Amino acid sequence: MSEILSAEQIAALVETAKQGQLPEQSQPAPRRGHRVRTVDFARPTKFTSYHQRRIERALETFCVTAATRLSAELRAPIELEAINTTQVTWTAAQLLLPPGALVVTIDLQPIDTRFLLATEQSFVLTALECLLGGVADRPPRERRLTEIDWSLTRRFVDSIVAQLSLVWLDLAGISLHTNAIDFYNDTDQIASVSEPTLVVVFESRINNLSSALWVTIPWIAIEPVAQRIAGHELPSSADDLAGAHAIEQAMSAVPVAIRAEVAATELAIEEILALEPGSVVLLGGKAADGVTLYAENIRLGRAQPGSNGSRRAVQVLQAERTSL
């Protein structure tokens, strides 16, 4: 219902308007804008949620089995726990490793790819202390590893990789093998700088002495078995994977005849029989078009004729995207 103003209220309102002072009107509540989710386009998303979830579950199993085996070997209680998983580029993954980290290159067979296992030096030195009958009651001081240290480190790392191999064999039908062990060197590359990489960070505790481990998995390392890891492909045996890889390598070595054709035309038999030295045959192409490259009967593209030393050669000018 509208309120009726009295004569005094009207007069007061007019006087206020003359002085330029109008009563404040209530402002409508601001409308809530559409929520916009910030997306970091620099962060890769090649590993889907299916890949990450299944890899994380496999590595949780690894933490349990590896802790049991290593505790028996070191004769000291050891705990392993996956504390973080992130997806970054290969370059960013390397920057996560601390100076002086010990890096293990791991071969994946039969797909013949690699990823890295890295750990702080304190974790290895604490383990060596236990292997030699000592007691890990305080953080070890970093030092240069001797030949004996490297030999024991190799044995200790092989035990870790063996437990890691068991879960990957069940997850993707591949086995893991220790390739090289060395201190971190940022010049070593097993993937391109922008390769999407999954980094899983573990915390290890030996007698309550905490250290960190990293597993860095570039996408190129698991791409041949990515469908199986995501659960979208029926499991296949390691023999099947090895056979497929061997077939691919064998097919890659098959020789294919390449020829360079200037041009072509059709002549009647009587015209062919009339050819003699000095005869000129007009072809169906232009001289500026160069020559055409063929693999068997498949056209590959255009090329420019020339020479390489004393041998004839062609330089590819334009390639055609044609499936062989």
Name which residue leads in pLDDT, 271 or 236. Answer: 271
pLDDT beyond 50 at 135: yes
Query: What integer pLDDT is reported at residue 3 of this predicted model?
Result: 56
List the structure tokens of 173. 């039908």
200 versus 320: the higher-pLDDT residue is 200
pLDDT at residue 24 is higher than 60: no
CATH number belonging to the domain at 49-248, selected among 3.40.1550.10, 3.40.50.300, 1.20.210.10, 3.10.100.10? 3.40.1550.10
- pLDDT of 22 > 60? The answer is no
Average pLDDT over residues 180-198: 77
Q: Which range has the top average pLDDT, 16-25, 30-39, 163-172?
A: 163-172
Contact 141, 127 (CB under 8 A): no
Greater confidence (270 vs 6) lies with: 270
Arithmetic mean of pLDDT, 150-170: 90
Instruction: For 54-88, write each residue's pLDDT tens digit.
Output: 999 999 999 999 888 888 888 888 888 888 888 98
Give span(s): CATH 3.40.1550.10, the chain: 49-248
Average pLDDT over residues 9-32: 61
In this prediction the pTM is: 0.58
Mean pLDDT of the chain: 80
Q: Is the model more confident about 98 or about 37? A: 98
Helix, strand, or coil (residue 188): coil
**pLDDT over 80 at 167, yes or no:** yes
For residue 208, pLDDT beyond 80: no
* Cβ atoms 101, 184 nearer than 8 A: yes
- Which residues lie below 8 Å from residue 165, measured CB to CB, with a gap of 6+? 175, 176, 177
Most confident of the following: 44-53, 162-171, 256-265: 162-171
The pLDDT score that the predictor gives to residue 216 is: 92
Mean pLDDT of 168-193: 81
Tell whether the model's pLDDT for residue 264 goes beyond 60: yes
Q: What is the pLDDT of residue 165?
A: 92
CATH 2.60.120.260 fits 255-319, yes or no: no
In the chain, where does the domain assigned CATH 2.30.330.10 lie?
Answer: 255-319
E strand spans, the chain: 78-89, 102-109, 113-119, 175-183, 196-206, 209-218, 258-261, 291-295, 298-308, 311-319
Q: Answer with the residue of higher pLDDT: 273 or 233.
A: 273
> pLDDT for 104-134, tens place per residue?
999 999 988 999 999 988 888 888 888 877 7
Enter the tokens of residue 266: 């059709």
